[in-house]
Every structure is written in structure tokens, then in C-alpha cells.
Structure 1
Amino acid sequence: MPTTIDSARALLRAHRLAEAEAAARRLIAEDPGSVDAREILVLAALARQDHAAAEAGLREILALAPDAGWARDDLARLLLDSGRPAEAEIEVRAAIAVDPGHADAHAMLGAFLSGRERLVEGAWHLRRAIALAGRHPQILANLARNLMRQGALDEASAMAAEALRAAPDLLAAAVLVVEIAEQGGDLDAAHRALDHATRLAARAGRDTLLLRATLLSQGPQWQEALALLDALPAMSGAARLLRGRLRDRAGRHGEAWADVVAGKAALAAAAGRRYDKAAVEAHFARLAAITMPDAPRPAHREGPQPLFILGMPRSGTTMAEQLLSSHGRIRAGGELPFTAELEDVAGRLTGSPFPQGFGQLSAADHHHLPALFRDVYLGRAEAYGLRQPGADFFTDKMPLNEIVLPLIRVAFPEAPLVAVRRHPLDTLVSIMMHDMTHGQDCGYRIEDAAHQLAAVSALTETYRNRLGIAPHVFCYERFVADQPGETDRLMAHVGLAAEPAQARFHENRRHAPTPSYAQVREPLHARSIGRWKNYEEQLAPILPIVDAAMQRGGYRA
């Protein structure tokens, strides 16, 4: 009987892999361009768990048929399963370039971008996938998680509920319903939803203990959460970090510090995160040597302008944004990625990575670049919906934007700059209590966080003294002591009169999608001031590192 594609496929379905492969090779010998025969070889390789052979086969198919969307999808999934997400994303983007109506590729790219915190772009692709392929529960759940992280809790809640109605056994959607309710402050609804999620998790051989403890930790039953975690024989890094925060709340400070150090180490190891001190020092040395270019100031473009909130993570930047965005003429932008993108644009257009090529802006044939930087940034803001009429400003509170202040200044010479200042030791304790990747992954060891804080403090002092870039200092402790006075001084810097709603910034209905989301819903209090004193012994080794930064701010240990 002659070999046919159908007979080769029958052999494959019968799991007679060697015979199916031999048949496929005979077909390729007869027709070297046979995509169907190569597909059989790929499927046989996957059945044998031979990922290298499957990858090679898929790449051969795409060389023969670049528009074979199924092959590119399979290759992307194979690369992702092999721990190569960057290569998988390249294939997904190529699939969309070939076929803009490729729903699976949009869904995958949306998931990739969301995982990298490119939330607005990720949401666009997930919405596109839904428009093309329908309201599939998993895509709805992925979009709901993205929207939750953007702070759009109402839409996220509706979408997660829709996903769960369509697929009542979808654990990811059930967990999302709990998390969205908790972040929105509806703890009763979160507890009700947790019961369903717990039943689904049990069927899958998983548990919801960490989710339950997280939920309990947000209310008056926080001691139950601590007891639940204390009883665990083994803990993940995230669970240990949560127990550290609860032990801190219970006054068990020595145990709390041991937990956060161990929890952070486990999280860093699991994600492969490491702070490169030498690389940071070399980069900051280049930044400190910057000279402001002799280039024309870009003209003002009408519409809402950026208002930059600067500061270390956990220094009070979220509180400052809530205060500012309680004003009727200021729109909250959150942690925008635009300045990092400007660094890439500057590097490409000057021919050298920022800041090495910054001086090129003084050349006449580069005088147009500051205006181009402005337009790139504002174009991205328009795509995020931040330039719509009805506001004078939108906030950009990406932590550590102050590192690229010279680049911000050439693009926006008149933009308000607000530097949030808090006792460095309180800031460092709070950084250690939460999982965050800002600052080149400095937050996983107290020594690294202290080094980053000190380096940023020294750099911004250089900018102030050498370049004349002097942001308004918004002091956390002074704000707690004199809320009206500090608010008036802040708004005078912005150029707007303070409004009564700013005195009740904790009532701001906007959800702040940061670890501070619960704190900024509370009225102003002084409980976090001087928290570092509970950890004097643990902080003693890093005092020499941050001594100069403390002196600049007028703080003492």
C-alpha cells in the first residue's frame, strides 16, 4: 500500500511513532515541500517529549510556510514551556504581523505583556482576542486580572464573575473574584467567594491557605491569619513574607525580621532576581557626569501635562498621588513606563545608550530631539487615555523616575517635579516587608535596598547642585504633622489652588493598584513614623550606607 498522509496520521493516532515518522520521511523524500508530513514529525517528537526535534520541525515548517499560524502558535507554546518566554513573544508578534486577525496570538501576546506589567497594551490585545474569538472564560479571566492590576476594579469584577459563570470550575476565575473583592474593601464578599475557590482548589489538589490568610490579614481577624500561618509546617516565600508583616503587627519584631529576610530570599531565588551593585554604581557614575545639553526648549503642547512624583518605593508616593488626584484638575496616571521607553528612544536616536549620547543633543542636527522625546511621551499618554480634556495634569509616579531627571527635564522643562521624602530607615523597613522589583531588584536584601537608596540620594543631590534640577520636596513626616500646610505648599508648586476634597484624600474612590492600596484608604495617621526603631539591631549594619542620605533629609538614627 502506498504511503499517504492519511495512513501516516493513522499510525500516529495508534501511537506507532517510529512507523509514523518513517512514513512521514518517505513522503518528504517524494515531496520536499510537504508541510503535512513535517507536521507528523513534529507531533511524533512532542509525543516522545523530544522538544528540540519538535522545535526544529516547526521552524522548518515556518521556513516553508511563513503564514502557517498554527505552527507559530505551537512553536510559541513550546518555547514558553521550555522557559524561553522572550523567544515565544517574538513568534507571537510575528504571527500577528502575518495575520492581524489571529485571535490566539493576540491572547498570548496580551498575557505576555500583562506579565511584564505592560498592562494597558496587554489589555488591548486581550480585548482584541475576545472580539475575534468570543468571550472565552480563560481570556476573560486573564483580562480581569490585568484590569485588577490597573486598578479598574468594577470592570475586573464584572469580567471575573462572567468568566466564573461560563466556567464554574475555573479556579483562576474563582480566585480572582476573591482578590478583587478584597482589594475593593468588600471583605464579606471576599469571604463568601473564598468558600467556592477553596472547594475548587481541593478538587485540584491545591489549597487556598495563603489566600485565606491574606484575606483575614486585612480585617479584624488578622490574628487568625497569623495563627494559620504559624501552624504551617512548610511555607512559600510569599507566605513567610505575609507572616513577617503579621508578626510585626503583633509586636514579635525579631521573628518578623527573620521571616521577611527568609521570605525575600526565597522569592528572589525562585524568580532568579539579583541586585547587581557594580552595574548600578557604574551606571550612576555615568549619570552623575551628565551635562545639560545646549538645545532649544520644546514648545508647550496643549492638553494635560505630566506631573512627576519621585521617590523610593514605600516612601509615600502612592499617598502623594492620592492627595494630588483628589484635585479636580489632576488625573491619576499611576506607575507609567514612559520614561524607561524614553531612555531606549534616546539611545537609538543619539547612537549611544542613555546617558552616553545625551550630550549629542547640543549638536544642531539633534536639536529637534527634545521635542521628539516630548511627543513620544505624550503620544504614549494619549494611548493610555491620560490626555483627554478635563484635567490640567496627569501623574506619573513610577518609582525612581528621578534617576533620569535630566531626560525628563529636556522633554518637559516646566513639568512639576515632586520628590517624596520619608525617613530612610522607615522606607527600608517597609521595602523589606513587601515583594517588589523596582530599583534593579534591590528590595530582596536590606543591604541592596540601602545601597540603592543611598545611590539615588547622592545622584539626585548631584542633579540639584550641578544641573539645577530641584524638585519640590514633599516630606511624609511634615505632611502627617501639618496636612493643610503641606498640601498648600505642594499645590503652590503645581500651580493650582488646593481643594477641600484633598483634605479627605483617603476617600478618593480611585483604587491605587500598589501594595499601599489598603493604607491610602485610611485617614492620615502617624503609626508608620518611627517604625524602624523596632528593628534598630537589624538595621545597625546598614547605617553607614545610608548615613549621608539621612543627613540630607535632616533625619537621624
Structure 2
Amino acid sequence: MRSNKTAAIELIRDNLQNKAFECALRDCELQLARIPGDAELWSLKGQALQGLGRLEDAAASFRRGLERNPGNARLLVLLGHVYTRQGRGEEAVASYSRALASDPGLTDAYRGLLNFQEIPADGAEAAELLAMALNERRSSSSRARALFLLGQIFVDAGLDRAGFAFFAQANALVARSIERGKREYQVAAAAAAMTAGFFRRHARLEPALPVCPAIIVAGLPRSGKSLVENLLAGHPLVTPGGELALVRKLVGDLDQRSGLETVAAKLRETTVSPLPQYCPTLAAGTRYLVDTSPANLSRLGYLALLHPEVPIIFCRRQPLDLGLALFFKNFRSGHRYSYQLETAGRAIALAEKLTRHWRQALPNPMLEVAYEDLVGDPRGTQQALFANLGLPPTGSARVPATDSTWRVFPSRSIDSVGAISADLVGFAGRFQTQLEPLARAYAAESARPGLGTRATAAGRSRDHRS
């Protein structure tokens, strides 16, 4: 039988996963009143506070936990993550270094350090990671994490061939655990049926639903979605939400057994939108909530049936740069297409075709942002976004300030920490030979009509979920 503490921690973790941060925080405080020295509870409380955007309170929680559990490696890494998001590079490095002193095998600490400094390819840290990667007693996912880190270490050192080889080994380890039929990026068959004529037939009946506060930023991971969100969040009327997956949750709750036309008719006639139940509370005085989940892209038609007023911003990026960033990224879950060059190439082509399809079909206000334009002119892109969304001009809008300690790399996701930089544009040119399989697959899928790949027969996948 599970202990009360175990059951409580499972509930807190579920709430964190579902972004119910207030509930998670309340339960943490109740448990800490009973078990004030528990390191895991201090860890979970800090994560809940971080989810609420209360970074200083989160750091204080991790420090309180460390007072009671000196040298706890997990708390040190989490504290380093908060310092990273606050732009406190020196303190982040110190925290990650202390974590590694306690546990030299903690890959999250190496990953955190690489945000700020190179790790020598011929040093003790790289040797430790190589030993982890070669240790067949470790799980495949653990060995893959070490290989991904070695890849970055060697690329940072200019040893591109060796670095790419480590990334290739890491991806092969992960791909080995994925069924062949689930390695492709899939687009639901319903998407192709949702044409401009379909939306005219199913235009909402009066009265319209109350306006939904969402802004959907759609695209594959690493295409610039979080950069767009960061620019939008510079306006006082916009709340960043991260990967809320509002549209995926909406579609997941629909009973689609009766067919698309019946589902569309029910959505058209509904008088109460289910979307608010998935939305966290908007920050006081704000008008919009941004959702950047990649899982929304193939499901946007369902959103349009309910809320044709919701703005959609599509993000695109030069295919080779995007493909390299996907291949270099060790995703915690999903995105199974990213672990092979050919499937990544097809995924990028399919996402581009899907974007073109939606831009021709959806009744929503839409805008497309190219990663290269955004990083080349962040301020101009920000002002264009505000204008297109009808946001009033503001002299207080911020663009991320330069942080000279932050190091860019194709796989990195914490884009709001340092300055928006154009340093990664064209980065894939260093690996043009290695990326030839991706380029060929991208070209073949781009030339193929329709929204499905040749590889769909092996079974439907959900690998584009966040």
C-alpha cells in the first residue's frame, strides 16, 4: 500500500504536469508543514512557484530545502535553472558545479553548465560522460543523454565530425526504443478535409461565443515559437503561457466516433466554449494568453470551428537549420520523428505543407514569422506582431537585453534568457554533408501532393504531441 506521502507527491507531480501550479503549491505547503525537512517537497514547491512565474520565491524554496539538505544535487540543479532564467550566470554556474561535486553523474548539471561555458573535450567531465555513455548497465535513455552532451562538447570545440557522430549515436539509441510505425510525424486525415469551403459551411451560428483570450503560436519545436512568445510578452497586455496545448486538449475531449461533419456541427452550435477550462488564470490587466505547444499545429481546424477570432502565428525556419536543431535536441518526451534524419526532413516538409493549407483554409487572423527575420530584427518583428494583433503601441515593450554570459547552441530552448541572436542562422552549413539524408527526404516530401507521408501505413502516431 502506498504511503500518504507517496500518494501526495504523485498528486503534486500530476498537478505540475497539468500546469495546475496553484494546487501543487498548496499541497506542497500542506505536506511541508508535516515533513519540513523533505528535499523532494522543497523541490516540488520550487517548481510550482517557478510555474507561476515567481522565480525569486522559487529560488528561496530551493535554498530553504538546501538548508535542511546540504549538498542535495537535485535542489542545486533546480536552483541553477532558476538563476539561469533570471540571467544570474555566475550563480547558476556555481550551483551546477556544486551539484556535480555531489553527483558527477548528474547530466542535467552538465547541460546547465554548457549554457554558460565550454566543457573541454579532453577534460575529466567529458571522460565521465563518455564512461556513462559506454556503460551498458545504464538505461538507453541515460546513455543517450550522455551522448547528446558529448555531441555539444565536441561541436563547441570545433570537432564537428566527432560531435555529429556522438549526436548520431545518441539519436540511434533513442530511435531503437520507438516502434517503426511511430517514427513519422503524422497529420490527422481530418486536416486535409478542413478546407475554406468546409469552414464556410460550418461558420458559427449567432450568437458568437465570448472571445477567447488565446494567441496560438504554431510550428515545430526549434522554429522560433518561444522567441515569438518572448517578444509578445514584452507587451503589458500579453501573458506568456508556454506549451499549454489548448487545442490538443480540446480535441482530446471530443467524441469523434460520429465523424468530422457531425463533430463540426456540434461545435458550430455549442453555446459554451470548453476552452476556458484548459486556460490558466490570466495575469491581472492582460488581454491575451500565449500557447506555443507544437501539438496544436495539426489540430487548428477544430479551434477555428469554435473560435475563428483567435489569432494564429505560424513559425518557420530554414529547413537545414531546423533539422539540425531537432537532431541535436534531446526531447524529454514525444517528437519521435526527430531522432532520424529522414523522418525529421519529412516532418519539416509536412509542417510547411500544413501551414500553407491552414493559411488558405482557416477563417482566423493569421501571420507567419520567419526565424531568420525575427533574429535579424527583433524590435521590428515585435512591432509588426503588436500591430497585427491590434495591440496599442507602448513605449515600455521590452526585447531581451544582451547577456554576454549566455551561449547559443542549436538544441537550446531557454530562448528568453540571453539576447535574441542571429548566430545560429546558417549553422547547419557546417554539417551539410552529414545532413544530406535529411535534405533528400525534405525535398521528396515537399514534392509529394497531400498531407501524408509514404510511411503512414505502419500505423498512426502521436509523436507530434508536446
The one-character-per-residue Cα deviations of 1:122-154 (angstroms, maximum 9, x if unpaired) are 662453253156245221222324544676432
Answering whether residue 269 of structure 2 is matched by residue 368 of structure 1, we say yes
Which residue in 2 is equivalent to 1:380? 278
Query: Does the Cα contact within 8 Å between 1:405 and 1:469 map onto a contact in 2?
Result: no
How many residue pairs are counted as aligned between the two chains?
Answer: 423
Q: Secondary structure of 1:224's match?
A: coil
Question: Structure 1 494/257 Cα, relative in aligned 2: closer, same or farther at 3 Å?
Answer: same
**Percent sequence identity over matched residues?**
22
Question: Structure 1 242/366 Cα, relative in aligned 2: closer, same or farther at 3 Å?
Answer: closer
Question: Structure 1 172/245 Cα, relative in aligned 2: closer, same or farther at 3 Å?
Answer: closer
Query: Does the Cα contact within 8 Å between 2:28 and 2:45 map onto a contact in 1?
Result: no
For residues 12 and 347 of structure 2, the distance between their equivalents in structure 1, rounded to whole angstroms, comes to 32
Q: Secondary structure of 1:222's match?
A: coil
Query: Does the Cα contact within 8 Å between 1:214 and 1:225 map onto a contact in 2?
Result: no
Higher relative contact order (CA 8 A, sep 6+): 2
For residues 287 and 335 of structure 1, the distance between their equivalents in structure 2, rounded to whole angstroms, comes to 21
| Residue 468 of structure 1: how far off its partner (Å) | 5.4
Letter in 2 for 1:130: E
State TM-score, norm by structure 2: 0.79
Which residue in 1 is equivalent to 2:318? 423
Question: Structure 1 140/131 Cα, relative in aligned 2: closer, same or farther at 3 Å?
Answer: same
Between 1:478-487 and 1:305-314, the stretch displaced more is 478-487
Query: Does the Cα contact within 8 Å between 1:226 and 1:246 map onto a contact in 2?
Result: no
Letter in 2 for 1:260: F
| Residue 241 of structure 1: how far off its partner (Å) | 0.9
The one-character-per-residue Cα deviations of 1:302-328 (angstroms, maximum 9, x if unpaired) are 6x7111111110011111111111011
| Residue 254 of structure 1: how far off its partner (Å) | 1.5
Gaps of 5+ in 1: 1-70, 75-101, 202-206, 509-513, 553-557
Answering whether residue 168 of structure 2 is matched by residue 266 of structure 1, we say no
Query: Does the Cα contact within 8 Å between 2:25 and 2:48 map onto a contact in 1?
Result: no
Give the alignment partner of residue 320 of structure 1, picking from 228, 245, 248: 228
The one-character-per-residue Cα deviations of 1:448-477 (angstroms, maximum 9, x if unpaired) are 222222222222322333455672111122
Give the alignment partner of residue 259 of structure 2, picking from 354, 357, 376: 357
Written as runs of structure 1 = structure 2, the 5 A alignment for 1:36-55 is none
Question: Structure 1 214/125 Cα, relative in aligned 2: closer, same or farther at 3 Å?
Answer: closer
Letter in 2 for 1:456: A
Query: Does the Cα contact within 8 Å between 1:109 and 1:122 map onto a contact in 2?
Result: no
| Residue 258 of structure 1: how far off its partner (Å) | 1.0
Question: Structure 1 481/166 Cα, relative in aligned 2: closer, same or farther at 3 Å?
Answer: closer
Query: Does the Cα contact within 8 Å between 1:111 and 1:122 map onto a contact in 2?
Result: no
Query: Does the Cα contact within 8 Å between 2:317 and 2:372 map onto a contact in 1?
Result: yes
For residues 243 and 158 of structure 2, the distance between their equivalents in structure 1, rounded to whole angstroms, comes to 32
Which residue in 1 is equivalent to 2:366? 471
| Residue 522 of structure 1: how far off its partner (Å) | 3.0
State TM-score, norm by structure 1: 0.67
For residues 76 and 362 of structure 2, the distance between their equivalents in structure 1, rounded to whole angstroms, comes to 53
| Residue 168 of structure 1: how far off its partner (Å) | 2.8
| Residue 447 of structure 1: how far off its partner (Å) | 2.0
* Coordinate RMSD, CA, aligned: 3.4
The one-character-per-residue Cα deviations of 1:332-389 (angstroms, maximum 9, x if unpaired) are 1111032221012222xxx52xxx73311454x66433x43x3x212321xx222x44
Answering whether residue 128 of structure 2 is matched by residue 224 of structure 1, we say no
Which residue in 2 is equivalent to 1:528? 424
The one-character-per-residue Cα deviations of 1:374-427 (angstroms, maximum 9, x if unpaired) are 3x212321xx222x4411211111124221111111222111111112112111
For residues 507 and 498 of structure 1, the distance between their equivalents in structure 2, rounded to whole angstroms, comes to 23
Which residue in 2 is equivalent to 1:23? none
Question: Structure 1 391/122 Cα, relative in aligned 2: closer, same or farther at 3 Å?
Answer: closer
The one-character-per-residue Cα deviations of 1:18-65 (angstroms, maximum 9, x if unpaired) are xxxxxxxxxxxxxxxxxxxxxxxxxxxxxxxxxxxxxxxxxxxxxxxx
For residues 489 and 368 of structure 1, the distance between their equivalents in structure 2, rounded to whole angstroms, comes to 35
| Residue 494 of structure 1: how far off its partner (Å) | 0.7
Which residue in 2 is equivalent to 1:285? 189
Written as runs of structure 1 = structure 2, the 5 A alignment for 1:76-95 is none
Runs of 4+ in 1 over 6 A off after TM superposition: 548-552
Q: Secondary structure of 1:473's match?
A: strand
Q: Secondary structure of 1:328's match?
A: coil
Query: Does the Cα contact within 8 Å between 1:275 and 1:448 map onto a contact in 2?
Result: no
Gaps of 5+ in 2: 134-142, 404-409, 449-466
Which residue in 1 is equivalent to 2:254? 346
For residues 288 and 109 of structure 2, the distance between their equivalents in structure 1, rounded to whole angstroms, comes to 39
Which residue in 2 is equivalent to 1:237? 144
